[in-house]
Amino acid sequence: MVQDAPVLRGLSGTGDERLTSRLEAFGDLVFGFSLSLIALRLDVPSQVQEIFEPTRWLTVILTFALICRFWLEHHRIFRHRFVVGPPDMVVNFVFLFGIAILPYAVQTFLRFEMQRGPFSLYVGDVVLILATLSFLRTRGLRQRRGDTDEEGRLRDWQRTVAQFAVAFLAAVLLAAMYRSGADFPTDIRRFGSYAVPGIVVVAFLVRRIVRRLPRFLREQEKEA
């Protein structure tokens, strides 16, 4: 009976690793599906002059780059022996849902330009992805508190804070577009002229300001 405990712990650890591996593989399928839909759902333009329309291609290329970046960020979380708990599993599925509908959000934004609904769907989806990704990375960093690579953990924390700040600011701006008496065409021009550069600057400054890990990511829990 005394020797059964290590065996059970080993089996439990193996089960956790298999679950994490299967979730990561499922995530890769969702990412691949989304990448393919971006190209497949590009409508053939009615005129030759519209083939290389800058707005269309800029949006598609940007979204393609975002999905590739999100895949890399997702992979970085799982590569550090990330053990998935029930909350992580739920948030991970929400994150993958955001990735899966991103091509649809892009298509509606392209087809119904300068309208608040499609723009809200697109920005709201990006906010959802960034928020859930930040949550997963924070959970992963808590599991890595014993990791000696403090510099690498600090970079991951800086990235987490920056992405959460971007998600928060984008959500605030999106909410402002639904204020009483708002004029969406005017707001979207301001968004492109001032808000986007401002969000980029804030994300850059946040990563510069954060110089150390917070207490809850640095200290190991003391055993009783």
Cα 47 to Cα 51, 52, 58, 124, 184: the distances in Å are: 7, 10, 18, 31, 28
Q: Could you tell me which of 181, 167, 188, 73 has the C-alpha nearest to residue 125?
A: 167
Q: Could you tell me which of 131, 204, 142, 207 has the C-alpha nearest to residue 174?
A: 131
The residue ranges of every structural domain in the chain are: 4-218
3-state helix, strand, coil in the chain (%, to 5): 80, 0, 20
Residue 12 has pLDDT above 60, yes or no: no
Residue 121 has pLDDT above 90, yes or no: yes
Residue 168 has pLDDT above 80, yes or no: yes
Identify the pLDDT of residue 180.
85
Identify the pLDDT of residue 224.
41
Q: Could you tell me which of 146, 134, 145 has the C-alpha nearest to residue 77?
A: 134
- Per-residue pLDDT reduced to its tens digit, 75-103: 999 888 788 888 999 999 999 999 999 98
As to burial, measured by CB atoms within 10 angstroms (0-12 exposed, 13-18 middle, 19+ buried), residue 183 is exposed
Q: Return the half-sphere exposure (C-beta side, CA atoms, 13 A cut-off) of residue 21.
A: 6
Write down the pTM of the prediction. 0.81
